[in-house]
Every structure is written in structure tokens, then in C-alpha cells.
């Protein structure tokens, strides 16, 4: 299982790449593995607002469906539209090509609540037990 | 008991393997005070000879010598014996929902064929694997429209089957959605001016019968245009699916969703059920579709096969957020319709539809000669309402002759004085000319 | 002299190669199966498969209907002669496993034998050709049968009255929750929540949500049972009802049902019973005596009406006296010696309304009543006894080969897991697919959700000890193969007309109907 060092994580298995006041968001390698083959997803539109801890979309595999939870509050400024036609990208490359949305976040203090790679790894290991 | 294969010796051996003293001991997890300590008060067991005799006596208390002249949502049609004999293949009728596709390819391919037939008849892109019946299919269509449009008003024509509308009201009682009933005009069609007034930017769906409950063919294109302009979905409801062999497909006339029952194909009457409800829609709405759906794919060796798919919409995965709670549907009846439609084929379906249209013309002429005019002037397929004076009296009088005369419309429209003498009658390929003449004469009395 | 020529036919052995040639524990061989295209893929022709009177040409559609509302022959419809149609569907049927083919231990679905006599009875013309709107005097037989079935179901379940109109189990659930809602509305407020144990069928939360309720999950205990304390902690005056399957989907009887019902009733809530597993209780105990206020039947499960490849079902709903006013229409009333349908809401002002265009799936009612008549009180009880005996026998014979997650007593079904097979990377799905090669339908898999890798086995009472023994032999062979040859096992199934199908592909690029030139590769 892959936990890139430059990312922040949530307990709902999203990752976040923070740059300035923007964050790119996707689901983790662990999440895509647990879901299995992803077949469909619903993402917000550019301009929508998302709220930390609340659902911003849905991801579906053949046998499971899961909400996507926003790691930070803010405005959606970019959406990875090609995913709609190639959801398998999320399985193949969850941290790069499989990114989902880019958020311009409104409250920088929320970044502090995100997990670092070590903490997330520990969380995943504990959850497995 | 022929269905219970256990010999006393089997039971002893099995108990010994389990390590239990008695069968009774296997029920020790049920607290004693919750046990039933007396035999059930149901009639004593009967053997097969007695069973057949008893059921024959019961069945004989129904009068079915003549094909009924009543339709009103359930249509008497000839079902070729080949349909039933194929349905009785135990591999079909003793299988369940095809959860394990490798041992269910028969059911799955037949469902794929059913979905294709439904899509072809309705002129829409896709269809699901069937619904309980036409009424629940319509209610689910209304619910889907509220999800798709995020609106909560359903405009439904008063000329849609009244029992379908009651089922709709029952389904919507707890959702907070609102039903607006649109009146019909002198021609039996939904009043276009009233419809225009009823539809606005809160309307999720416009629901029209096609043909409607009075057997009248609605002006579907105009209604669909109106709905589209308001951002609402158009739902057509068809109870007499043979009509779709003659009438333009609702999808081609602007309907976004077509629902109803395929009872006319393969099901027979069966006192009203079972028959397969159908649900067809545009591909873009498929993620909000209720119920199961079969899709094509390939197996490990690259051979085409079929599976249930898009199942994340459904209750067993999405639970409280599912598009519907439906799981078991009407699979066997969908198969019956598929077999019947395959037997009919392109030519047979067109012939059957034309034949129905003709026989209804004979009925209309015979009734007019007997002095009974049409209640509604709108165009019809195989069903129409006649003014017969006292419709209930006619029904009672003909019942004494063993003839099911028709459906008195005042039962469903007690407040409409136009309906007082209206008797809704159908003629199909089962109604030969002589029978139609006899019927008209009997109505005159 | 038996064979004067001395010639002895012999069959070359091993020509089939590998596992595909072996006979499974259930007697499965490859059989004779044909490839068969879709009906739409047969060559277009002018053939028909029906015999109908020729239209006389007496009425011209073009003269009466606007041209825009007429259509010609439908392009793409098949054109086959009757024999080709018969072969098509006969061939398709051979690709299916049904109860008539072999053992079908699909947990929670009660795949018991469907009597052939019931099929004959449902086809008696008096029943099969009866129009649902026949005047009452012309359909006394149907009405009496519905009334008799309603009375019997009420007695079997211990309730005051039963509606037979819901068309399937989930439809019955919907009906039951609607009545619960109407009951609370009549007392001032519909309330907001429905409690649902974590072992429940997905239809329970979906039925609650369709009625505007929030589904609140209640965790079952380590023994697989629901505990009164867990219910008490979740229970308040916003809770409209709890929905409980008893025995639950682990096959375990909810022994605390009485105390749970008291907790719920004390706060004004109602107790809904999902009757999916009623087979375990026939003649032994009655939900109505346990504190349930309402429950649905699944006639296709408990009363052996055919499952039909996914229906039609029939889902009657039984209620206590307090819910009788809310029953949907129609109902059958007995008046003197005759019967009448009650359809007018004026007669039943508190009714929730109507759930079916007509009276429900009458054809299924005929079959269910036939079974009840043939079984009688002792036979009904014997169903429960033998179903429970069969499940416990499988449990005893398989528990050293497969992990049993709950030691608690089983009734009519038993849940194992793939925990012991995990070491060799063999999953429940692999076990299920390999069972097919042995000639058995797989159990219900990955359900209930509280058990990881669940294999839920419900043998039913109509299976003989010999069949169960063969199934155990197959299961044990699979457990052995999981150790010795996991890769071979993962290749299963080898015998059916198709190998494992790509469900991901089906969902990513949905192809839901035939179109001309369709290719799926």
C-alpha cells in the first residue's frame, strides 16, 4: 500500500495535496483497493462549495458505493472531468491521474486537522484489525 | 408427505450427527412462552386427488365461458400454448434472481431480450428487468421524476387508470410530493388547456395514459412538448401493450419514460396478477432507474454473456439511499411476454394489433346499431365507452347470462354526470363477430 | 448369448481434459449445451410463430388516427417460426440452474421444491381466465380462495387480519411501513426514525426511507443476536418502529424478542417483522405471539410458489387489531355465504390506499393455498422441523471444514465464512463458483454484511439426507482443494456455458439492450 509523503489524509480515506490556498483531492490507494473496480462516480461542478467532513460526491464499484468526504471547506475550482469516462483511472493511479477535484479552501486552520502519512498509515492498520 | 423425503432412520442419523436428542431440542433457542403448543387451526391435509377436486370446485364458481368484454387494465388475449409450455421448463420457473450469472445465463439472456422488446415497443433507449405491475411502475416513475428534476409536483391526467392513480397517491402519501389531477375533455382526452395551466416550473412529471383508461389515444406529442418546455418529464402509461403494435412508440412522440404492463403478452388474466410491469427510459436517466437491470459483458474467455448490473442503485447495496426498495420483480412474466412477442414477431404483432383495432370497430358498429353511442369522440384502439343508460344494471343483467359486460365508469368517476351511463368495453382477437353481435343484442336486452 | 458379435463399445477416457470432465459431488457434468444467439440476431425473414385470424380489412387505422400516431412494423423485431422459438427458449433454459435441476441452498430465499400440482391448479381455466373486474357473482371462487388464504395466513402468523395484495416481499414491507406511518399520523405525528439491526435485508432500510423515515442501525451482539439494551439505547419517542427478521439472517432466533418488543412498545413504537425466514417457525411459534405488530410473508419463499428467475412474488401483510383500520384495499369480505371485494375507501376511511392495480398476484395465492391445503397443520409444522434439522445437519458436517462465526444455535439456515480458506487466498466467491462445477447452486454470498465473507446456506425441508451428504462432500472437497490447489479452484467454474463474467465491464460501459450490429468484446 502506497502512502505518498507529500500528501495529507483523512480518516475517510481521502488525500489532499495542499498548495497555497488550493488543495487537490482524491481517494487513497487503500480506498481504491477496498472498493475494488471503480465503475462510476459523481463529482460536484466547478463553482460548487464543499464543507469539511460532508459528502461532495459518490464513488461506486460493482459491489459497493461510498460517499466522498471533503477534507477541507471551500469552493470547487477544478474537476477532473475525464474520470467520468475512465473511472478505472482511480484504481490505476489514485494519487496522480485519479485526482478528483481541486478546492480553493476558505479556512487554512482546517489543514491542521488532516493526518500526515505516518498517522494515516497507522489509522489504516488499526482499522484492519 | 411427498415433499418431505426424510425417513425415520434419516432423522435418527442426522440427529446423531448433530448431537441432538430430538428435533424438538433443535428449537431450544425459542423461549417456551413463545412456542405454539397446539396444532395450527388450518384445515386437515388433503391428498392430491382431493386437492384437485377441491380446487376444481372453487374454480368452477368463477364464470369464464365467454371472453369478457371488460378490459379496464387487464385484457383478454389469446396466449399460444407454446408460451406456457416453455414457461413450465423448471430451469426457468424454479430459478431465482440470477445472482450467480454463470448458472443463470438462460434467465439473463431472456431478460436482455425482454429489455430490448420493451425498448423497441416504447421507442426508448433502455428498460429495466420488470416491475410488479403497471400501477407500481407508474408510481416509481413519478418518484424517479422527482429525483431527476428536484421538483415535487406530479401532474397526472384524470384519464389515467384510476387504480394506478390511487397507487400513486398511496406511494406519495409520505414523500411530501403533490399530485395535480388534470381533467379530461368531451373527447376523452386530457384537456390541453387545463394541462397547460397545471404544468409549471414546479412540475416534475406529466403522466398520461397511452391509450388512456377510456381507451382513447392521447395527443401525446403536444403534451410532451408542453412538459419539456416546463422542464418536466413526460411519462406515458400503457396497460394495453398490444396497442404499441399499431400506435407510434411513446418515446418517438416525446415521452421520457414509458411504463405500464405487458399483461397482454403471455400473462393471461389470472384475476389481475401476476403480469410484468415495464419501465423504459432514456439512457441518460438510467442511474436513477428503479429495479434490476441486465447488461451484456464477456466472460474470462472473451465470450459474450449477461449479468445483472448497475446494482449500486439497489437496496442490497445502497440500502436506505436506493432508488427503490424493489428486489423480486416479475421475472417469469417478463419471460412469458418475451416468448409471446418472439412468437408474434414483426408481422404477427402488427397483425394482432390490427385485428384488435378491427374487432373494436365491429363492436362499435354493433353497439351503434343496437342504439348505443360512444361516450367519447377521441380516437381509440380496442377499448371504448358506450352510453348504455344504466351501466350497473346492464352489468348485472349480463352477469346472469355469464357475460362480463364491461366496466361502469361511474364507479371511478361518481361525481361526473357524463359518466352515469358509460360502460367501458373491449374487443380483442378473442371476440368473434357472432359473439360481438350477441353481446350488443344482450346489452339492448 | 448377450453379445454375439463380441464387440464392446468403449469410451476414450480423459479426452475432456482436467476438471471439466470430472463429475461433481452433485453429479454435474458438462452436459449438452448449445450456443444460442439473441432472438434479434436470427436472420430476418417473413416468418411468424403464431396462428391468428386474418384481419378482414374492415377498419382502416389511417382513417381514424392522425398519421403521426401510427407506426408500421417494428424494425428489429424477430421473425421466427414456432419451432425455432421453442428451440431458442428450450436452449436458454438449459443454461439455468433451478430447483428442478439440483440443490439450491440460497440462504434467506427458501428455495424449496415448487409442487407441480400447484401449477396445474393455477392453470384451471376458472382461475387462469378470470378477469379481475368480473362482477362478484361471477368470481366467487377467486374471492373465496383469497378469503381462505387470508384466514390461514392470519392463523399461521398469529395476527388479526392479512392483506394479500402486495406483489412481493419488499412490496409487503413498504405496505407494512406505510401502515405504521398511518398509525402514528393518526396519533398526531408520523415520527422520524426506524430502527434496523445490522443483520437486516437491504430492503428494510429502503422501505423505511421510501416512507420518509431515517434508518438507524442497531448493532447485534457477539452472539449474533439483537439485545434489549442496544434497542433501549436507540429507542426514543421519535422512533416509529423497529424492523426485525426473526429468525434473523444468521439463522439465529432473536430470543429476546419479547423484551425488545416491550422496550419499543413502552415508547409508543411498533414492531415490524420481516417474514423472510418464517419457514423456520411454521406451526412452532407465531410472530403475532412474540410482540410483533405487523409482518410480511413471502409466498414464494415459505409457501413454495415458483421464484420464476426473479418473481413474481407475493407479499401478504398480517397485522394486529390496532393496525387493521389501515390495511390497503381491496379486502375480501364474507357476507353470509358469499364473498365481496371491498374497494371503496368510504367503507374503510383509514386505509393507506392501494398498492396494486387489481388484487395482487392472485396466481401466486392459488399455489400458496394449494400447499397449505396439502400440508395441513402437521405438514406445516413438519416443514419447520425438517428445515431446521437439515440446516443443523449441514452445520454439524461442515463446521470443521469452514469457519462458523457464531456458536449460537441455528434454526433454518447457517452462515459460514471463508476465514479458514483465506490463508491460501481463496475467497467465498471462489468457493461459490467451484460449487457450480460440483452441480450445486451456490449459497447466498457476502450477506449478511456483519459477517466478512459470509456463505449463507439454507437447505429447506424438501432436500433429502442423500442430497445434503453430496453437498457436504462437495463443500469438503472444495475446502481440501483450497489447501492443495488454490489456483485450480480460482479457475472455477469450468462446467457452465460461461466462465466468470466481467461485471466491472458491464457496469462501466452498460449495454442494456440489443441494437443492430451489437458487439460485446
- Mind listing the pLDDT tens digit for each residue in B352-395? 999 999 999 999 999 999 999 999 999 999 999 999 999 999 99
Distance in angstroms (rounded) separating the CA atoms of residues C352 and C178: 7
* Sheet of B407-408, strands arranged across: B383-387, B422-426, B407-408
The answer to whether B306 and C146 are in contact (CB under 8 A) is no
Pairwise CB contact (< 8 Å): C139 & B63: yes
Least confident of A98-112, B164-178, B371-385, C21-35: C21-35
| Tens digits of residue pLDDT in B187-236 | 999 999 999 999 999 999 999 999 999 999 999 999 999 999 999 999 99
Q: What is the mean pLDDT of chain C?
A: 94
Pairwise CB contact (< 8 Å): C508 & A63: no
Q: Residue C485: count other Cβ atoms within 10 Å of its Cβ.
A: 14
Chain C residues with CB within 8 Å of chain A CB: 446, 503-504, 506-508
Indicate if ipTM > 0.95. yes
Least confident of B27-41, B312-326, B344-358, C37-51: B312-326
Q: How confident is the model at residue C2 (pLDDT cuts 50, 70, 90)?
A: very low
| Whole-number pLDDT of residue B317 | 79
Which of C475, C416, C109, C110 shows the shortest CA–CA distance to C250?
C416
Confirm or reject contact between A40 and chain B (CB < 8 A).
yes
pLDDT at C18 over 60: no
Pairwise CB contact (< 8 Å): A65 & B287: no
The residue of A39, A40, A57, A60 whose CB has the most chain B CBs within 10 angstroms, and thus the best one to mutate to test that interface, is A60
Distance in angstroms (rounded) separating the CA atoms of residues B118 and B136: 17
| Tens digits of residue pLDDT in C209-265 | 999 999 999 999 999 999 999 999 999 999 999 999 999 999 999 999 999 999 999
HSE-up of residue B329 (Cα within 13 Å, Cβ side): 28
Q: Taking each helix axis from N to C terminus, what angle separates C82-93 and B105-122, rounded to the nearest 10 degrees?
A: 130
Confirm or reject contact between B297 and chain A (CB < 8 A).
no
pLDDT at B83 over 90: yes
Neighbours of chain A (3+ CB pairs under 8 A): B, C
Tell me if residue C281 falls in helix, strand or coil.
helix
| Tens digits of residue pLDDT in C367-424 | 999 999 999 999 999 999 999 999 999 999 999 999 999 999 999 999 999 999 999 9
| Mean pLDDT in residue range B38-52 | 98
Distance in angstroms (rounded) separating the CA atoms of residues B259 and B142: 10
Q: How many residue pairs from chains B and C have C-beta atoms closer than 8 A?
A: 700
The residue of A38, A43, A57, A62 whose CB has the most chain B CBs within 10 angstroms, and thus the best one to mutate to test that interface, is A62
Pairwise CB contact (< 8 Å): B90 & C98: yes
| Mean pLDDT in residue range A8-29 | 94
| Mean pLDDT in residue range C357-366 | 98
Pairwise CB contact (< 8 Å): C504 & A63: no
Tell me if residue B38 falls in helix, strand or coil.
coil
Identity of the residue in A60, A62, A87 whose CB atom sits nearest the CB atom of C503: A62
| Whole-number pLDDT of residue B174 | 86
Pairwise CB contact (< 8 Å): A40 & C507: yes
> Cell 389515467, residue?
B160
Q: What value, to the nearest 5°, has the Cα angle with vertex B274 and ends B269 and B275?
A: 75
The answer to whether C188 and C348 are in contact (CB under 8 A) is no
| Whole-number pLDDT of residue C8 | 54
Q: What value, to the nearest 5°, has the Cα angle with vertex C434 and ends C432 and C440?
A: 75
Distance in angstroms (rounded) separating the CA atoms of residues C188 and C211: 16
CA B28, B32, B38, B43: dihedral to nearest 10 degrees?
-60
Q: How many residue pairs from chains A and B have C-beta atoms closer than 8 A?
A: 16
What percent of chain C shows pLDDT beyond 70? Answer: 96
What percent of chain B shows pLDDT beyond 90? Answer: 94
Query: C2 versus B1: which is more confidently predicted?
Result: B1
| Whole-number pLDDT of residue C20 | 54
Pairwise CB contact (< 8 Å): A63 & B311: yes
Helices then strands, each counted (H, E), chain A: 3, 9
| Tens digits of residue pLDDT in B88-124 | 999 999 999 999 999 999 999 999 999 999 999 999 9
Q: How confident is the model at residue C279 (pLDDT cuts 50, 70, 90)?
A: very high
Neighbours of chain B (3+ CB pairs under 8 A): A, C
Q: How confident is the model at residue B312 (pLDDT cuts 50, 70, 90)?
A: confident
Confirm or reject contact between B312 and chain A (CB < 8 A).
yes
Q: How confident is the model at residue C19 (pLDDT cuts 50, 70, 90)?
A: low
| Whole-number pLDDT of residue C58 | 83
Q: Where are the alpha helices (DSSP H) in B277-330?
A: 315-318
| Tens digits of residue pLDDT in C67-103 | 999 999 999 999 999 999 999 999 999 999 999 999 9
pLDDT at C445 over 90: yes
Minimal-distance CA residue of chain C relative to A35:
C504
Amino acid at each position: 500500500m502506497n502512502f505518498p509523503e507529500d500528501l495529507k489524509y483523512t480518516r475517510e480515506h481521502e488525500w489532499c495535496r495542499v498548495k497555497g490556498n488550493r488543495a487537490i483531492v482524491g481517494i487513497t490507494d487503500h480506498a481504491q483497493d477496498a472498493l475494488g473496480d471503480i465503475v462510476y462516480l459523481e463529482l460536484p461542478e466547478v463553482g460548487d462549495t464543499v464543507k469539511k467532513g460532508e459528502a461532495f460526491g459518490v464513488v461506486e464499484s460493482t459491489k459497493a458505493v461510498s460517499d466522498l468526504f471533503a477534507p477541507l471547506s471551500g469552493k470547487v475550482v477544478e474537476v477532473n472531468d475525464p474520470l467520468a469516462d475512465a473511472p478505472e483511472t482511480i484504481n490505476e493511479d489514485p494519487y496522480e491521474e485519479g485526482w478528483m477535484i481541486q478546492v480553493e479552501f476558505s479556512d487554512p486552520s482546517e489543514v491542521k486537522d488532516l493526518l500526515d502519512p505516518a498517522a494515516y498509515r497507522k489509522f489504516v492498520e488499526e482499522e484492519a484489525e | 408427505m411427498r415433499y418431505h423425503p426424510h425417513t425415520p432412520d434419516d432423522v435418527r442419523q442426522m440427529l446423531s450427527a448433530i448431537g441432538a436428542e430430538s428435533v424438538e431440542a433443535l428449537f431450544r433457542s425459542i423461549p417456551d412462552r413463545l412456542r405454539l403448543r397446539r396444532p395450527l387451526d388450518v384445515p386437515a391435509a388433503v391428498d392430491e386427488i382431493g386437492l384437485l377436486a377441491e380446487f376444481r370446485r372453487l374454480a368452477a364458481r368463477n364464470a369464464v365461458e365467454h371472453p369478457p368484454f371488460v378490459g379496464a387494465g387487464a385484457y383478454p388475449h389469446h396466449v399460444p400454448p407454446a408460451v406456457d409450455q416453455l414457461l413450465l421448463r423448471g430451469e426457468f420457473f424454479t430459478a431465482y434472481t440470477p445472482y450467480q450469472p454463470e448458472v443463470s445465463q438462460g434467465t439473463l439472456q431472456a431478460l436482455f431480450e425482454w429489455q430490448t422488446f420493451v425498448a423497441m415497443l416504447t421507442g426508448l433507449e433502455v428498460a429495466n428487468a420488470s416491475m410488479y405491475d403497471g400501477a407500481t411502475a407508474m408510481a416509481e416513475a413519478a418518484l424517479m421524476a422527482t429525483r431527476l428534476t428536484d421538483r415535487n409536483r406530479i401532474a397526472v391526467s384524470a384519464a389515467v387508470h384510476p387504480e394506478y392513480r390511487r397507487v400513486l397517491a398511496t406511494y406519495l402519501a409520505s414523500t411530501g410530493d403533490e399530485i395535480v389531477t388534470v381533467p379530461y375533455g368531451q373527447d376523452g382526452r386530457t384537456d390541453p388547456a387545463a394541462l397547460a395551466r397545471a404544468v409549471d416550473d414546479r412540475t416534475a412529471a406529466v403522466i398520461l395514459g397511452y391509450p388512456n383508461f377510456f381507451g382513447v389515444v392521447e395527443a401525446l406529442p403536444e403534451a410532451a412538448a408542453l412538459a419539456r418546455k416546463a422542464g418536466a418529464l413526460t411519462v406515458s402509461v400503457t396497460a394495453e401493450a398490444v396497442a404499441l403494435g399499431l400506435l407510434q412508440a411513446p418515446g418517438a412522440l416525446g415521452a421520457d419514460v414509458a411504463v405500464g404492463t405487458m399483461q397482454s403478452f403471455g400473462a393471461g388474466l389470472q384475476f389481475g396478477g401476476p403480469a410484468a410491469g415495464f419501465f423504459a427510459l432514456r439512457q441518460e436517466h438510467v442511474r436513477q432507474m428503479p429495479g434490476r437491470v441486465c447488461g451484456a459483458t464477456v466472460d474470462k474467455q472473451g465470450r459474450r454473456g449477461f449479468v445483472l448490473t448497475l446494482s449500486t442503485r439497489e437496496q442490497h447495496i445502497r440500502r436506505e439511499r436506493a432508488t427503490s426498495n424493489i428486489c423480486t420483480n416479475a421475472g417469469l412474466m417478463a419471460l412469458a411476454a418475451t416468448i409471446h412477442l418472439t412468437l408474434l414477431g414483426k408481422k404477427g404483432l402488427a397483425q394482432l394489433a390490427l385485428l384488435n383495432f378491427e374487432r373494436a370497430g365491429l363492436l362499435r358498429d354493433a353497439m351503434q346499431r343496437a342504439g348505443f353511442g360512444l361516450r367519447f369522440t377521441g380516437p381509440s384502439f380496442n377499448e371504448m365507452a358506450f352510453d348504455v343508460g344504466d351501466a350497473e344494471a346492464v352489468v348485472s343483467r349480463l352477469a346472469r347470462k355469464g357475460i362480463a359486460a364491461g366496466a361502469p365508469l361511474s364507479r371511478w368517476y361518481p361525481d361526473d354526470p357524463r359518466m352515469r351511463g358509460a360502460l367501458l368495453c373491449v374487443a380483442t382477437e378473442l371476440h368473434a363477430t357472432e359473439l360481438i353481435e350477441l353481446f350488443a343484442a344482450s346489452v339492448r336486452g | 448369448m448377450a453379445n454375439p458379435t463380441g464387440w464392446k463399445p468403449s469410451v476414450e477416457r480423459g479426452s475432456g481434459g482436467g476438471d471439466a470432465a470430472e463429475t461433481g459431488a452433485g453429479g454435474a457434468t458438462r452436459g449438452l449445451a448449445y450456443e444460442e444467439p439473441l432472438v434479434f440476431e436470427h436472420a430476418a425473414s417473413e416468418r411468424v410463430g403464431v396462428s391468428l385470424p386474418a384481419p378482414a380489412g374492415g377498419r382502416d387505422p389511417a382513417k381514424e388516427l392522425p398519421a403521426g400516431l401510427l407506426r408500421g412494423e417494428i424494425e428489429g423485431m424477430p421473425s421466427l417460426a414456432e419451432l425455432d422459438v421453442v428451440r431458442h427458449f428450450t436452449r436458454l433454459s438449459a443454461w439455468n440452474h433451478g430447483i428442478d435441476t439440483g440443490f439450491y441452498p440460497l440462504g434467506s430465499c427458501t428455495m424449496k421444491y415448487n409442487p407441480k400440482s400447484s401449477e396445474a391448479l393455477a392453470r384451471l381455466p376458472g382461475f387462469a381466465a378470470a378477469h379481475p373486474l368480473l362482477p362478484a357473482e361471477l368470481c366467487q371462487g377467486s374471492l373465496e380462495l383469497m378469503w381462505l388464504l387470508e384466514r390461514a395466513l392470519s392463523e399461521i402468523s398469529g395476527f388479526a387480519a392479512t392483506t394479500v395484495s402486495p406483489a412481493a416481499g419488499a412490496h409487503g414491507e413498504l405496505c407494512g411501513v406505510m401502515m405504521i406511518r398511518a398509525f402514528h399520523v393518526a396519533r398526531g405525528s408520523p415520527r422520524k426514525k426506524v430502527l434496523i439491526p445490522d443483520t437486516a435485508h437491504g430492503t428494510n432500510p429502503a422501505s423505511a426511507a421510501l416512507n420518509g423515515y431515517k434508518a438507524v442501525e442497531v448493532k447485534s451482539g457477539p452472539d449474533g443476536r439483537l439485545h434489549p439494551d442496544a434497542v433501549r439505547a436507540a429507542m426514543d419517542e421519535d422512533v416509529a418502529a423497529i424492523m426485525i427478521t426473526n429468525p434473523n439472517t444468521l439463522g439465529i432466533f432473536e430470543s429476546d424478542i419479547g423484551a425488545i418488543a416491550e422496550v419499543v412498545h413502552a415508547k409508543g413504537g411498533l414492531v415490524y417483522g420481516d417474514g423472510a425466514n418464517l419457514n423456520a417457525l411454521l406451526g412452532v411459534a407465531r410472530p403475532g405471539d412474540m410482540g410483533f405488530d405487523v409482518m410480511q410473508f413471502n409466498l414464494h419463499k415459505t409457501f413454495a410458489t415458483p421464484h420464476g428467475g426473479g418473481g413474481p412474488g407475493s407479499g401478504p401483510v398480517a397485522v394486529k387489531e390496532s393496525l387493521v383500520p389501515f390495511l390497503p384495499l381491496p379486502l375480501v369480505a364474507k357476507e353470509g355465504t358469499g364473498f365481496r371485494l371491498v374497494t371503496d375507501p368510504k367503507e374503510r376511511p383509514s386505509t393507506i390506499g392501494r398498492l396494486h392495480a387489481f388484487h395482487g398476484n392472485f396466481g401466486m395465492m392459488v399455489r400458496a393455498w394449494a400447499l397449505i391445503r396439502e400440508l395441513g397443520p402437521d405438514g406445516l409444522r413438519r416443514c419447520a422441523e425438517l428445515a431446521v434439522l437439515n440446516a443443523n445437519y449441514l452445520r454439524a458436517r461442515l463446521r470443521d471444514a469452514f469457519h462458523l462465526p457464531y456458536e449460537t444455535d441455528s434454526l433454518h439456515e447457517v452462515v459460514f465464512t471463508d476465514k479458514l480458506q483465506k490463508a491460501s487466498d481463496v475467497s467465498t466467491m471462489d468457493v461459490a463458483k467451484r460449487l457450480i462445477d460440483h452441480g450445486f447452486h451456490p449459497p447466498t454470498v457476502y450477506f449478511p454484511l456483519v459477517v466478512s465473507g459470509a456463505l449463507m446456506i439454507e437447505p429447506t425441508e424438501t432436500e433429502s439426507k442423500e442430497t445434503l451428504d453430496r453437498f457436504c462432500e462437495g463443500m469438503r472437497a472444495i475446502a481440501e482443494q483450497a489447501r492443495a490447489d488454490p489456483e485450480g479452484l480460482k479457475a472455477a467454474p469450468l462446467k457452465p456455458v460461461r466462465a466468470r463474467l466481467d461485471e466491472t465491464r458491464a457496469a462501466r460501459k452498460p449495454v442494456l439492450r440489443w441494437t443492430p450490429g451489437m458487439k460485446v468484446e
